[in-house]
Amino acid sequence: MSDRLRAQFSFLLEADRLRGVERQNLILDCSRRENSAEHSWHLALYALVLTPFAGPQVMVSRVIQMLLLHDLVEIDVGDHPIGDEVDWQAVATAEAKAAERLFGLLPADQGKALHALWLEFEQAESPDAKFAKRLDHCQPIFQTLYGSDPLPDHVEVVRGNLFGGRATALEEGLPEAYFHALYLLGYESDHDTGALRARLPFLNAADGLKSVLRATWIGDGSREENSAEHSWHIMLYGWILGEYASTDIDIFRVINMLLLHDIVEIDAGDTPIHGAVSAQALAAQEAEEQQAADRLFGLLPAPQATEFRALWDEFEAATSADAVYAKAIDRVQPVLLNLHNGGGSWLEYDVSLQQVETRVGVKVTRGAPEVWTYVRDKISPWFEENKRL
């Protein structure tokens, strides 16, 4: 069993490198380029929110999984902006090789299943893959056109993409997105885009999660992680490690919980688990998160607002089997990143192994005991060596 977990964590830690891949697109406040990990999280959120546009043959849970994986190959080959002169056949060959390497890190059964899902997305023939591709085409367009100060050349890339580029497929595949994008560019249209426009305020507000910094540093120790890329990484963790849940779970509900779990930090910020926080401060933080949930989920039309808020509340309560496991996995990822980057927030907050056991281990053991046994064995030598028992 430890060999299997070792392979799974090898994949998950390698996936962390996607945070270092910069895309051409700017985040919504136009302060910096986004990276491919946070882009993948935002696309998964698009899939969940735009479920009503998916069509009866589409299984959105599979679409979300595809979008979590779709850019992983960029760890090896990088991102290629659509406006650049690129040998796309050479890129496809390099990406296929990268997929073999990355998914080959996993146990054979999981690697085969995830590789097949990635290939399905690339081939774009199944209903699930077609919808995933449409989202991958429209999200960068709206991120640009709703940007606080978009670069003129980025707007021209969008225009070219809609008139003759790959986004022309949106006219038939997701016409609400196509015609709303044209409207934002100043073109008139009588196409009804009201149902889409009702959901964009939430999707645009969600971009703010890319600017919420956490206490945990990314694996290479170069910077703090943000809550959007953290959410993407946690969704992968929850999916890959689902077999170790202490009770039966619905992995698709778990993934959706983890997709939404930190959304309130847009308003309330992140609270470091190892920070010295009083009971009074924690109560104030909880109240602030509740207000944030009211505001953010309230941006959605009913019944989605009610459905998403209930899922977030379930995660916070941590009493259902799905939520217990989701909470457990939410605690695991920062531990492995700290070990990977040489101590991270353990050094910053002067953390002992006993504190990790109390603040993290108890919750992980409740939801995934085998995972905590493995993780504790991995981190114990670091604490022993640094005399932090």
Domain final position from 146, 171, 206: 206
Domain final position from 206, 234, 262: 206
Same structural domain for residues 179 and 219? no
Same structural domain for residues 379 and 261? yes
Whether residue 242 lies inside any domain: the answer is no
Question: Peptide bond preceding 56: is omega within 30 degrees of 0, i.e. cis?
Answer: no
Same structural domain for residues 47 and 160? yes
Domain of residue 90, residue span: 2-206
Same structural domain for residues 20 and 43? yes
Same structural domain for residues 347 and 275? yes
The residues near 214 (Cβ < 8 Å, ≥ 6 apart) are 224, 225, 226, 227, 230, 270, 272, 334
Please state the domain count of the chain: 2
Same structural domain for residues 193 and 276? no
Widest Cα–Cα separation across the chain: 69
Whether residue 375 lies inside any domain: the answer is yes
Whether residue 49 lies inside any domain: the answer is yes
Whether residue 246 lies inside any domain: the answer is no
Same structural domain for residues 63 and 35? yes
End-to-end alpha carbon distance in the chain: 27
Per-residue pLDDT of the chain (389 residues; tens, 9 = 90+): 589 999 999 999 999 999 999 999 999 999 999 999 999 999 999 999 999 999 999 999 999 999 999 999 999 999 988 777 788 899 999 999 999 999 999 999 999 999 999 999 999 999 999 999 999 999 999 999 999 999 999 999 999 999 999 999 999 999 999 999 999 999 988 899 999 999 999 999 999 999 999 989 998 999 999 999 999 999 999 999 999 999 999 999 999 999 999 999 999 988 777 776 678 888 888 999 999 999 999 999 999 999 999 999 999 999 999 999 999 999 999 999 999 899 888 988 889 999 999 989 999 999 999 999 999 999 999 999 998 87
CATH number at residue 157: 1.10.3210.10
